[in-house]
Amino acid sequence: MSTPDIEYVGDSKSPVNPKADSETNTSTAEVGEVVITLTKEENDRIKKKTDRVILAILTWVYFLQVLDKGVLGTAALFNLQADLGLVGNQYSIIGSIAPIAQLGWQPFSAWILVRVPPRILMPCMVLGWGIAVTCMAACNNFGTFITARFFMGLFEAGCLPLFTILTSRWYRRIEQPVRVSIWNGMNGTATMAAAALSYGLGHIQSDVLRPWQIIFLFVGLGTVVTAPFVYWKLDNDITTARFLTEHERQLGVERLRANQMAPTSYDFKWSQAIEAFMEPKSLLWIALALLPNMGSALPSLFGPLIVTGFGFDKYETSLLNIPYGALTTIVIIAGCWCSYKVKLKSAVLVAFMIPVVVGTAMLYAIDHSPANQGPLLLAYYLTTFLYAANPILLSWVVGNTAGAAKTSTVVALYQIGTSAGAMSGSYLFSSDQAPNYLQGIRSVLGLFIALIGGVGIQTGILFMMNRHHKKQRISNGKAGDIKDMSMTAEVGVQGKAQEQTIGEVPFKDVTDWQNDEFVYIY
């Protein structure tokens, strides 16, 4: 393994004049009078080190976030509703209070994501929702429990936006889908873990604590002790990474140059936030987040109830949802791997939505009776392909957004769509539709078809924005066609025309619209 090839001839901090050698696959940049040469071996070494620290933290913390939120459903099997004295729709309100808290917090989230360093923000979030989950074990009525659940949702509100931004901050655009799939894939893993933990902890005999209290206490304390570990290991960005040497940090900056995104900035520029609200593609992300998360009420909230309508009892239904969680993890990883290989997120997203549309249509068209258990169960499992939507969309969002304040604003807008969808999806179904829930299934089918249409519209918008940037480059005396190096495995900037154009722009806090060298990805 080669050592960093850096030639020191002076002191400066302004990256200029990147060069590349297409034969050796290296990238050379002058940092003032300091010449930095990045080879493929060095690029791979830095990426692996980043995976071992940053990706490991993201994966574990996201697992805890999904687990802490998801154990409510499994804990409810152990008389939680009776012990808390819940009546009417109080349990449903408890289930929806977390996304309500997340939705209300998003206007503040965009500002906090820029102003507060991740090394401070993430452990504070983890500690906050860990304490809230732990406190659920001490609740004895609807009021105290929903209060704890509200604060859990409040502290979790910044989790998805922060993780998305950190992925874009530490990885090249071509690498982001796979990394998003790994930490987002914890949705399925945590679902299985919640079932297994509840089954095991539910058998503990105690004269002091009820089984559901033991479950919340266990997962809550596990999250609390994670907070100081996150503070110890997490770094804010590549320039301050303690797990890299000084030479590797400089190489890491060069490695991320092709993203055409600024280094870490803690200055919230309101002009960038305004630009996000004025831009059609940014606003369309809200709809693209809303549709799949609203439709997810079918498998996540009402899936088990629908499966019992196939003729299975509650124990069989519980067992059938274990492979559903495993399939969810496989689908998420497969979707992002395909996005990485094909490099067309829109096409991959549509391809993964087709099985969802087919499965939902089968659930609506086939008679729900024991005689059709096989086809109905197949249709139900086809809906797992829905879970590929969020990670692909997330990597698509951050890959097409630049500027610190604009990125945090757009990701917050995406979270608004996600929370609104999670909050409102359950209202498509009602108890009078049981056991088939055909009206809700029909509504969800319309949402999935609309999502495919929305992806097509967004692709057209991005195509037009790329044409606009091409015209800008030509009018500015640059080459019209440039190669998007962030979507290749190469570390060099290929071609003389591009060699002359890419310089200091990637290191300035400018938006994707302001930077005519920014290439939008489809």
Tokens of 414: 């995406």
For 194, other C-beta atoms within 10 Å of its C-beta total 23
Per-residue pLDDT of the chain (522 residues; tens, 9 = 90+): 443 333 333 333 334 344 444 444 555 444 444 556 778 888 899 999 999 999 999 999 999 998 888 788 777 767 888 889 888 778 778 877 888 888 888 778 778 887 899 999 999 999 999 999 999 999 999 999 999 999 999 998 888 888 988 988 899 878 887 888 888 888 778 877 887 787 788 778 878 888 889 989 999 999 999 999 999 999 998 888 999 999 888 888 888 877 666 555 566 788 888 998 999 998 899 999 999 999 888 887 677 778 878 888 766 776 777 788 788 889 988 988 888 788 889 999 999 999 999 999 999 999 988 888 889 999 999 999 998 998 899 889 988 988 878 888 888 888 889 888 888 887 787 767 878 888 889 999 999 999 999 999 999 999 999 999 889 888 888 887 877 665 666 665 433 333 434 444 445 778 888 888 888 988
| CATH superfamily of the domain spanning 271-479+513-521 | MFS general substrate transporter like domains (1.20.1250.20)
415-437 burial, b if ≥16 CB within 10 A, otherwise e?
A: bbbbbbbbbbbbebbeeebeebb
Q: How far from 448 is each of 291, 297, 444, 445, 479, CA to CA, in Å?
A: 7, 12, 6, 5, 40
Domain locations in the chain as residue ranges: 39-259, 271-479+513-521
For 73, other C-beta atoms within 10 Å of its C-beta total 17
Q: Is 382 helix (H, G, I), strand (E, B) or coil?
A: helix
For 44, other C-beta atoms within 10 Å of its C-beta total 14
pTM comes to: 0.75
Transcribe 474-488 into DSSP letters. Answer: HHTTS-S----GGGS
468-507 burial, b if ≥16 CB within 10 A, otherwise e?
A: ebbeebeeeebbeebbbbbbeebbbbbbeebbebbbebbb
3-state secondary structure 242-267: CCCCHHHHHHHHHHCHHHCCCCCCCC
* Residue with token string 């960038």: 272
pLDDT per residue as tens digits for the range 369-385: 888 888 999 999 999 99
Q: How far apart are CA 514 and CA 519, in angstroms?
A: 12
Q: Is 89 exposed, middle or buried (0-12, 13-18, 19+ CB in 10 A)?
A: exposed
Q: Do 328 and 387 meet the contact criterion of CB atoms below 8 Å apart?
A: yes
Q: Do 402 and 511 meet the contact criterion of CB atoms below 8 Å apart?
A: yes
Mark out the alpha helices in 137-185 (DSSP H runs). Answer: 142-156, 159-170, 176-184
Q: How far apart are CA 508 and CA 95, in angstroms?
A: 43
Would you state the pLDDT for residue 87?
82
Residue 29 bridge partners (DSSP): 36
Would you state the pLDDT for residue 262?
54
Q: How many CA atoms lie within 13 A of 505 on its CB side?
A: 19
pLDDT per residue as tens digits for the range 212-222: 899 899 999 99
Task: Count H helices and E strands in the chain, helices first.
Answer: 23, 4
Would you state the pLDDT for residue 266?
63
| CATH superfamily of the domain spanning 39-259 | MFS general substrate transporter like domains (1.20.1250.20)
Asked whether this chain's domains 39-259 and 271-479+513-521 adopt the same fold, the reply is yes
